[in-house]
Chains A and B, each alone.
Chain A
Amino acid sequence: AQSVAQPEDQVNVAEGNPLTVKCTYSVSGNPYLFWYVQYPNRGLQFLLKYITGDNLVKGSYGFEAEFNKSQTSFHLKKPSALVSDSALYFCAVPGAGSYQLTFGKGTKLSVIP
């Protein structure tokens, strides 16, 4: 079964510092991988996806993610964190033969002014 894991429940980072939110995956075949963000009392917003090709994927709001096949990781990164980046971040993978998403547990990112 396709799955993703987010090892950190919470990540704290100072405003202006680089941020990383970690995700590892377990899939058969070539993976499709997604990052979503959820602000309080809102639905999920799509940030970026990896399908194939370049290992560095650029997405919305200055976020990017690095796909690493040998480490089965797909970490979300941003060079300079903003207070407005504080939110819940989810890594996700679609099921085999469908696009139902299996989500990680989520990582709460807090950017401290």
Chain B
Amino acid sequence: KAGVTQTPRYLIKTRGQQVTLSCSPISGHRSVSWYQQTPGQGLQFLFEYFSETQRNKGNFPGRFSGRQFSNSRSEMNVSTLELGDSALYLCASSSGTGGGYEQYFGPGTRLTVT
């Protein structure tokens, strides 16, 4: 099976712009989560989706939003970019819901805001 794919892999944006990142989960996985990784804050949870419904959201401002489509693909959007949004954004998928299921991560999208 193909793994989790994320596009684009690298992105450079200017402050104030907006950006959309895409994630395709492993075939058959209906749960998708997003994480932000920075050197200072480490790995932080952004969103969790299951069957097109957002089940959980982390402690991020409203500029961060996401959605999931009927084919389980997911997108996240960041509007009005700030320098502090520079990070590696990781998407993960899981075959089920509940804490006992491991998540499989994509390679990430490296976002640089200048």
Question: Residues of A at under 8 Å CB distance from B?
Answer: 32, 34, 36, 41-46, 49, 51, 90, 94-96, 98-106
Contacts and interface: CB of A to CB of B under 8 A. Distances in A.
Interface residues of B, number: 27
Given A99-B48, A100-B58, A103-B43, A43 B108 contact: yes
Interface string B13-54: 000000000000000000101010000001101001000000
Given A95-B56, A100-B33, A101-B103, A44 B98 contact: no
Contacts, number: 62
The list of the 9 closest CB pairs from A to B, nearest first, reads A94-B99, A43-B105, A103-B43, A44-B105, A32-B99, A100-B45, A46-B102, A43-B107, A99-B99
A63 to B, nearest CB: 14
Contact of A99 (B90, B98, B105, B108): B98
Interface of chain B, helix or strand or loop or mixed? Answer: strand
Interface of B: 4, 6, 31, 33, 35, 42-43, 45, 48, 55-56, 58, 90, 92, 94, 97-108
B100 A103 contact: no
A30 to B, nearest CB: 10
B45 A101 contact: yes
A34 B102 contact: yes
23 contacts: A32-B99, A43-B6, A43-B90, A43-B105, A43-B107, A43-B108, A44-B90, A46-B102, A46-B103, A49-B100, A51-B100, A94-B99, A95-B99, A96-B99, A99-B31, A99-B48, A99-B97, A100-B58, A101-B33, A101-B35, A102-B45, A103-B43, A106-B42
